[in-house]
Amino acid sequence: MLTSLEIRDVLIIDRLSLTFKPGLNVLTGETGAGKSILLDALGMVLGWRGRADLVRQGAAQGEVVAVFDLPKDHIALDVLKDAGISAELGEDLILRRVVTPDGRKQGYVNDRRVSGEVLRDLGEVLVELHGQNDDRGLLNPRGHRRLLDTFGAYDLAPLRGAWRDQTEARGALSLAQEALSKAAADEDFLRHAVAELNKFMPEIGEEALLDARRRTMQAAEKVRVDLAKALAALGGGAGALLHDAQRWLEGASEKFDSALDSPLAALARAQIELADAEEGVERVLRALDFSPAELEQVEERLFAIRALARKYGVLADDLGSLAESLRQKLEALDLGTAGLEKLHTALSQAELAYRIKAAAISESRKVSAKRLDRAMAAELAPLKMERASFVTEISNGDPGPEGSDAVTFTVATNPGAPAGPLNKIASGGELSRFLLALKVCLTGEFPGQTMIFDEIDRGVGGATADAVGRRLRALAERAQVLVVTHSPQVAAFGAAHWRVEKKQTDKETLSTVVPLTPADRIEEIARMLAGDRITDAARDAARELMRA
């Protein structure tokens, strides 16, 4: 429920604070007094699309604050949750929006900055605006199915789930078909590539090892000659000389006590190191002992691996993983036909499940349509339209998550007159009453809902206007209703009443809203009955309207 509305520096309003009540809230005033400005301001804070030049001339910015009191299960709490905004139960929901003269707007929810999209999402579930030319709800044929579903109160979740399953099954089949088609086009390449890679089976790091082995072999011939000479020197010349020196020193050491012990020890160590060097050189020579055929084999393998890497555009070390990937694609191709059969079966089952659920919902809609038509007939009679007819037509439409039914509200205003879409057949006054009757039928017990009717009683008067006022009051027993009206019969039914006034000075024109006391209400309704010159008879008539 909308509890209060504060407006600062918007159009011809400088400062305005309104406190609304449950039930039927009535706003009246002369034409041009500024009633539409209130709706513009409320629309701004709710994120509705509207005029851009909202800031009062000379002001730095305009601001609108709307406060709502919500029950614990109001759908607006889900919108807040989706937007990442926490709302404690029992707290007011405070919406605020600021607009600058250049048209830039910034919104806030409970003092947290939000986008205009969040405000629009909240506005859609907090307030409904209805007028003769309103196409956001009842007059928009695209929304008739949703309204009928709301009236029928059946569960659409299983049908939406069946549509989702069918969509996913169709998508999976399409992807599989696309992949199979592409794989089939590449089948020759896949089989050739897999056979070629399987023939070589290169291992990770093999290319580097072969390259190092090849370089070693290429340099081996020159190195082997040098190593052979070194080995001959170590084993033949150097070893023999060291052995002779050791023998001569040992013979001389008997005459010098221990003076030659140190040289003898050094010679012994040298012989050991010399033997180690000789063994190492022999080991390297054995490693270099290969045939030219072995070098040819290494080069052939190395060049083949590098050629494969260039051919397939990968690193040599990635050839193994490429081979595995191509083998998997080839296996998928071989198994593709069987897989497609399974996916076709799954899609057929999903389509059947959707058709069954859609057919069940379609039957429910037909039942609900008849109930709605009867309810509308009962509502139109008190509105002095007992000779008019209302028919909910259901036809075949495009399948979707909520079925394949197209729903259109059609009316005939007089017996024998052709029926047609609601928004094309009814005149202004008739359309107002059709809209009101629809709203009464389609609105259940929704605590916290606020509905605004903008001059929906235009074009009707007398007993018909009285009937409109009574239906509005009945609707206000289920939800908060705000009505902007020029009809004294409608105004008389209000639980709370405000008059919109425009004040002009030499410098500016300002609009304000005045809450009316019971005595003020008599004067205002008398004015609406009699015009500028209010007579006692008009006051008596106003009192009679309020008593009735």
Of 62-76, 147-161, 351-365, give the range with the top mean pLDDT.
351-365
Q: For residue 135, what pLDDT is reported?
A: 47
- Answer for the pair 432, 461: CB distance below 8 angstroms, yes or no: no
Please give the single-letter amino acid code of residue 172.
Answer: A
Tokens at residue 385, please?
């339209």
pLDDT greater than 70 at residue 487: yes
Q: Are 495 and 38 in contact (CB under 8 A)?
A: no
Q: Are 494 and 25 in contact (CB under 8 A)?
A: yes
The pLDDT of 271-282, averaged and rounded, is 76
Say if residue 258's pLDDT is above 80. Answer: no
Strand order in the sheet with 420-421: 389-400, 403-412, 420-421
Quickly count: other Cβ atoms within 10 Å of residue 29's Cβ. 24
User: From CA 348, how far away is CA 214, in angstroms rounded?
Assistant: 62
pTM for this predicted structure: 0.61
Better pLDDT: 507 or 401: 401
pLDDT tens column, 427-478: 666 777 787 888 888 776 555 678 888 877 776 777 888 888 888 888 888 8
CA triple 314-318-323, angle to 5 deg: 95
Per-range mean pLDDT, top range of 47-51, 213-217, 477-481: 477-481
**Better-predicted residue by pLDDT, 423 or 507:** 507
Are 390 and 411 in contact, with CB atoms under 8 Å apart? Answer: yes
Q: What is the pLDDT of residue 429?
A: 63
| 9, 28, 510 from 504: Cα distances, Å | 16, 19, 6
Pairwise CA distance, residues 205 & 289, whole Å: 24
Give yes or no for a contact between 62 and 112, defined as CB atoms under 8 angstroms apart. no
| Mean pLDDT score across all residues of the chain | 83
Q: Dihedral of CA 177/180/186/188: which sign?
A: negative
Which range (181-185, 195-199, 494-498) has the least confidence?
181-185
**Using CA atoms, how far apart are residues 199 and 100, in angstroms rounded to an integer?**
75
Tell me the average pLDDT across 381-391: 85
Tell me which DSSP letter residue 8 carries.
E
In one-letter notation, the amino acid at residue 164 is R
Digit-coded pLDDT (tens) for 147-160: 899 889 889 999 99
**What is the pLDDT, as a whole number, of residue 11?**
86
Sheet holding 112-114, edge to edge: 13-19, 2-10, 62-68, 93-99, 105-109, 112-114
Note the pLDDT of residue 137.
55
Read off the pLDDT of each residue in 84-97 and give the average, rounded to a whole number: 78
Average pLDDT over residues 331-339: 71
Alpha-carbon distance of 41 to 32, in angstroms, equals 16
Q: CA dist 34 to 29, 54, 241, 418, 509, Å?
A: 8, 13, 125, 40, 11
117-131, 254-268, 394-408, 467-481: least confidently modelled range? 254-268
395 or 387, greater pLDDT: 395
Contact criterion met (CB below 8 Å) for 233 and 255: no
> Percentage of the chain with pLDDT > 90?
25
Sign of CA dihedral 506, 512, 517, 519: positive
Q: What are the beta bridge partners of residue 261?
A: none
Identify the weakest region by mean pLDDT among 35-39, 333-337, 410-414, 489-493.
Answer: 333-337
The C-alpha atoms of residue 229 and residue 222 are separated, in whole angstroms, by 11
Q: What is the DSSP annotation of 380-423?
A: HTTTT-TT-EEEEEEEEEEEETTEEEEEEEEEESSTTSPPEEHH
Q: Per-residue pLDDT for 4 more than 90?
A: yes
pLDDT the model gives residue 354: 96
For 348: left if phi > 0, alpha if psi spans -120 to 50, otherwise beta; the answer is: alpha
Tell me the average pLDDT across 137-151. Answer: 79
